[in-house]
């Protein structure tokens, strides 16, 4: 596979000092957008950690019952699929709103949406109202990414932009680590008997990010690029309405061959990474629970102690996974700066496939969790650093939020089948095998190679300014 790179090489030392040129307001924008996405990912991770105990309780299944494992996995997959469908729909709707009504206003709406409905998930009484709350949470979760990266991309200089976006995505790992700390703390309380179950309290913690709406409302302004695009749209509508370029126009996104190609390429890239992470990678927690349970049962612990220890050690595992993710995203940011977007994506897709398959097939011992999982996190989440940098570069200002959301969220809408497919493979196709999730996970790793098929059609954007 051949990758063209631009003739003009970027300054290899730019990344060392990009932050020095930022104004106080640019720092504020970076901080608010990063916190919005950080808390978004915290709420996502709280769900992945609470999913199995929540589904087990809502299905009225005894913890550790081997006869119900397939049923719990299947319904957990359904809940995740519904969450991802909401994520995709919300991403598209809020992405269009980000272009039409503004980045700042839309960001405030998404933060309030995902935090409020994460909290409401704690009130679930059955599997279907739980899935409904997850769908509503997904609406807000999906919208945050597109408006956040569009806002940061438009406020930063061309030199600072890729590094700021790389850090924004890397800080999402800190959100996951915050969720892990919540899990560790609640796991200790559950183990000691201070609380009967931790999963409802996990979702209540997810209410906290709603406070971020206050500084967004008070101080965050729309970027000058967007306000200029609004003025240009008004002038074109006054002159020749039929040929005017409209903000957030789906017709233009798919009517113009250039933007249509970029959108399709972005959707395929996102599909491969999102299925790999949400359809396989985040289900590693369910695989790890089995390894932990076997370890603790061998120690002769009682069921209450085992339940608390599982919550605690899943939190620890999330910490090490997301530490790997943080460094993976940073590594991708540096790699894409040096060799270009397309070759960096190619390397990341191959590493993600290999590391995930290796983990699902070979991980079987307590100590291996703390070696295999951070490596898998490094490789899988590196791709998402690429999405934050690359997608805003594919579209003009008037379509940036819409285009970014289509890439990330339509790909996610198709990818929403991933968790359900994993559940069906586990319960039906590989049901006769010992630990069928291992076979299902390895089989699904082939999805990463779909991303490679899109790269020959992807434009190289390294060293180029944003489209106006």
pTM, two decimals, is: 0.79
Mean pLDDT over 405-415 rounds to 76
Of 61-65, 150-154, 158-162, 438-442, minimum mean pLDDT range: 61-65
Task: Examine the pLDDT at 399 and tell me if it is beyond 50.
Answer: yes
Grade residue 5 by pLDDT with cuts at 50, 70 and 90.
Answer: very low
Q: What is the pLDDT of residues 24-52, one digit of tens each?
A: 999 999 999 999 999 999 988 899 888 88
Q: What is the pLDDT of residues 45-72, one digit of tens each?
A: 899 888 888 998 898 877 666 666 677 8
Evaluate whether 170 touches 326 at the Cβ level (below 8 Å).
yes
Grade residue 8 by pLDDT with cuts at 50, 70 and 90.
Answer: very low
Domains recognised in the chain with CATH numbers: 23-224+248-457 (1.20.1250.20)
Share of the chain above pLDDT 90, in %: 33
Higher pLDDT, 357 or 245: 357
Task: Examine the pLDDT at 345 and tell me if it is beyond 70.
Answer: yes
Give the CB-side neighbour count of residue 285, counting CA atoms within 13 A: 31
Higher pLDDT, 94 or 305: 94
Rounded Cα distance between 320 and 309, Å, is: 17
Task: Examine the pLDDT at 2 and tell me if it is beyond 60.
Answer: no
Question: What is residue 435's three-state secondary structure?
Answer: coil
pLDDT score recorded for residue 425:
66
Give the CB-side neighbour count of residue 359, counting CA atoms within 13 A: 33
Higher pLDDT, 100 or 307: 100
Residue 281 burial (10 A CB sphere; 0-12, 13-18, 19+) = buried
Task: Examine the pLDDT at 7 and tell me if it is beyond 70.
Answer: no
Rounded Cα distance between 158 and 170, Å, is: 19
Q: What is the pLDDT of residues 201-237, one digit of tens each?
A: 999 999 999 999 899 988 999 888 888 888 887 776 6
| Average predicted confidence (pLDDT) for the chain | 84
Other CB atoms within 10 Å distance of the CB of residue 128: 14
Grade residue 423 by pLDDT with cuts at 50, 70 and 90.
Answer: low
pLDDT score recorded for residue 115:
94
Other CB atoms within 10 Å distance of the CB of residue 144: 29
Task: Examine the pLDDT at 349 and tell me if it is beyond 90.
Answer: yes
pLDDT score recorded for residue 16:
56
Grade residue 242 by pLDDT with cuts at 50, 70 and 90.
Answer: low
333, 337, 340, 428, 465 from 12: Cα distances, Å = 12, 7, 12, 51, 17
Grade residue 77 by pLDDT with cuts at 50, 70 and 90.
Answer: confident
Other CB atoms within 10 Å distance of the CB of residue 179: 28
Grade residue 339 by pLDDT with cuts at 50, 70 and 90.
Answer: very high
pLDDT score recorded for residue 132:
94
Evaluate whether 361 touches 442 at the Cβ level (below 8 Å).
yes
Task: Examine the pLDDT at 351 and tell me if it is beyond 60.
Answer: yes
């Amino acid at each position: 596979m051949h990758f063209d790179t631009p003739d003009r090489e970027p300054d290899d030392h730019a990344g060392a000092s990009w932050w020095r040129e930022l104004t106080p307001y640019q720092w504020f924008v970076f901080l608010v957008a990063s916190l919005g996405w950080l808390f978004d990912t915290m709420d996502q991770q709280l769900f992945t950690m609470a999913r199995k105990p929540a589904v087990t309780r809502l299905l009225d299944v005894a913890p550790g019952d081997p006869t119900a494992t397939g049923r719990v996995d299947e319904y957990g997959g359904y809940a995740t699929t519904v969450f991802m469908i909401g994520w995709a729909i919300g991403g598209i709707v809020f992405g269009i709103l980000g272009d039409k009504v503004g980045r700042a206003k839309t960001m405030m709406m998404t933060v309030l949406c995902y935090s409020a409905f994460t909290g409401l998930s704690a009130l679930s009484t059955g599997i279907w109202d739980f899935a409904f709350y997850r769908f509503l949470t997904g609406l807000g979760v999906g919208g945050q990414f597109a408006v956040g990266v569009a806002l940061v991309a438009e406020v930063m200089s061309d030199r600072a932009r890729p590094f700021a976006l790389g850090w924004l995505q890397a800080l999402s790992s800190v959100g996951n680590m915050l969720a892990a700390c919540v899990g560790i703390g609640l796991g200790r309380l559950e183990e000691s008997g201070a609380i009967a179950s931790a999963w409802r309290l996990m979702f209540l913690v997810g209410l906290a990010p709603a406070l971020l709406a206050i500084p967004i409302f008070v101080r965050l302004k729309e970027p000058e690029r967007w306000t200029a695009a609004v003025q240009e749209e008004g002038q074109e509508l006054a002159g020749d309405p039929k040929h005017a370029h409209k903000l957030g126009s789906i017709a233009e996104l798919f009517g113009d061959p250039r933007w249509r190609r970029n959108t399709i390429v972005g959707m395929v890239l996102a599909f491969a990474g999102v299925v790999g992470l949400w359809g396989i990678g985040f289900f590693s927690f369910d695989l790890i629970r089995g390894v932990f349970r076997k370890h603790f049962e061998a120690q002769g612990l009682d069921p209450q102690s085992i339940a608390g220890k599982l919550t605690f050690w899943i939190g620890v595992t999330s910490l090490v996974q997301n530490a790997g993710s943080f460094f993976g995203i940073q590594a991708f940011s540096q790699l894409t700066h040096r060799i270009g977007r397309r070759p960096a994506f190619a390397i990341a897709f191959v590493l993600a496939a290999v590391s995930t398959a290796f983990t699902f097939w070979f991980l079987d011992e307590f100590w291996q969790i703390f070696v295999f999982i951070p490596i898998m996190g490094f490789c899988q989440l590196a791709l998402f650093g690429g999405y934050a940098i690359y997608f805003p570069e594919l579209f003009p200002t008037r379509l940036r939020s819409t285009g970014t959301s289509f890439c990330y969220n339509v790909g996610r809408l198709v990818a929403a089948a991933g968790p359900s497919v994993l559940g069906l493979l586990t319960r039906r196709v590989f049901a006769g095998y010992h630990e069928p999730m291992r076979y299902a996970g390895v089989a699904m790793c082939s999805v990463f190679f779909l991303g490679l098929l899109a790269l020959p059609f992807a434009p190289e954007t390294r060293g180029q300014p944003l489209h106006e």
